[in-house]
Every structure is written in C-alpha cells, then in structure tokens.
Amino acid sequence: MAVARRRLILSLINNLSTLVFYSIMNVLVGCEYSGVVRDAFAARGHNAWSVDLLPSDRPNPKHVQGDIFDMIEGDWDLAIFHPPCTDLAISGAAHFPEKIKDGRQQRAIEFVERLYYCGIPRICIENPVGVLSTKSRIGKPTQYVQPYEHGHFETKKTGLWLRGLDPLVPTDIKDLTGLPKKVTQRLHYLPPSPDRWKIRSTTYQGIANAMASQWG
C-alpha cells in the first residue's frame, strides 16, 4: 500500500508540475509558407505565427506575408527559421563560383547570421548540408536530423543550429532496409513541376511534431 501511495503522490506532483510550469508560448516560424511547423505548435495551444514573402499554403490569419525582420522584434519566446538554401546548400555547389563572385552567397550567409543572433531567447535555424558550417559565424549545426527518425520512410539530412534549445530526440525510427531509392529519396525523384522546389523544402510533419512536443 505504501509503495502504491507513494507512486500516486509522485504522479500527482508530476502532473501538478506540468500544470504549474506549462505556459502558452509566442512562437515565430520564419521563412515558412507551408504552415506545417506553425500549425504543429498551434495544435499544442501555443500562439504560433508564420512569416514569409509568399502566402501560406494553409491560409491562416496568423500568417504574415512580408519581411521577417519586420516581425522579429516582437515579444517572442521561441523562433524557428527556415532561411532559403538556394545559395547555401551543397547540392548547388556547381553554381557556387558565380554566387560567390556576385555576392549572393555572402548575402545569404549574413541573412542567416542576423536571424541566429537576434534577441529572441530560443532559436532554431534549419538548413540542409551546405556552407553555413564552414563559412558563417554560426559554425557547425548542433545536430543533423533525418525524417526516418520521426516516422517517415525517407532520408533528407538536415542541420539544426540551436540556441537555448535541447537537440531533438528521435520519436519514431523507421527501418529503411530493402526499400527502393524512389521511396527513401522521394524528393530527389520528384518530376519537374512549378511546385517541385516548394515540396522539396517543406518540413516533414514528423519533424514539426517533434519540435512542437519537445520544445513546446
């Protein structure tokens, strides 16, 4: 009886702690038109907003179509930024000489640095493997994540640069053994289309859910 009573008390304390310390956060999701990360945090009760130069694929009054730096000075608790990777990702290395010469790559790097070093207390920068780890002041990513660690039968190595946040813990690891590349590398095999780039850059739902559950 004593052990059962002790477990009940501990359970009540843990639940009470959750109630006491849980608070609604103001979450800014920058450079996101998909609404995937915004909606994952909103589903957990947070005041989540997305900002992008494009309209949201999921129309929502909490999407601002405009410049991220017009919103960044707000009273935010957490910001997750998905800066454009066109001039940064190693997949476009063949075009680097031109982008270095005309300044596009340096401007892209400075854009990311400005986001990372803004005054918001908790920051995540999301970007694929590229030059940020070697050419920017933010250095190497805190961690790399894969969609197969969060419930998807796919690979896409993505870096997360974290400030004030713990690394994401895998939530649902999938075994890709024996699966064809057209499944595990689905994004690579997408046929040409006007929206191909948008599909390729959209955050996986499983990763968005992990961010919301572990950081929210």
pLDDT tens digits, 62-100 = 999 999 999 999 899 999 999 999 999 998 899 999 999
Q: Which domain holds residue 54?
A: 2-215
Q: How far apart are CA 197 and CA 188, in angstroms?
A: 11
Give per-residue pLDDT as tens, 124-167: 999 999 999 999 999 999 999 999 999 999 999 999 999 999 99
Q: What angle do CA 158, 201, 133 make, to 5 degrees?
A: 35
How many structural domains is the chain composed of?
Answer: 1
Of 66, 71, 43, 41, which is closest to residue 56 (Cα–Cα)?
66
With cut-offs at 50, 70 and 90, classify the pLDDT of residue 22: low
Give the domain CATH number at 84. 3.40.50
Q: How many other CB atoms are there within 10 angstroms of residue 205's CB atom?
A: 17
pTM score = 0.86
Q: How far apart are CA 107 and CA 117, in angstroms?
A: 15
E strand map for 25-129: 26-30, 47-52, 63-65, 78-81, 122-128
- As separate numbers, helices (DSSP H) first and strands (DSSP E) second, the chain gives 8, 7
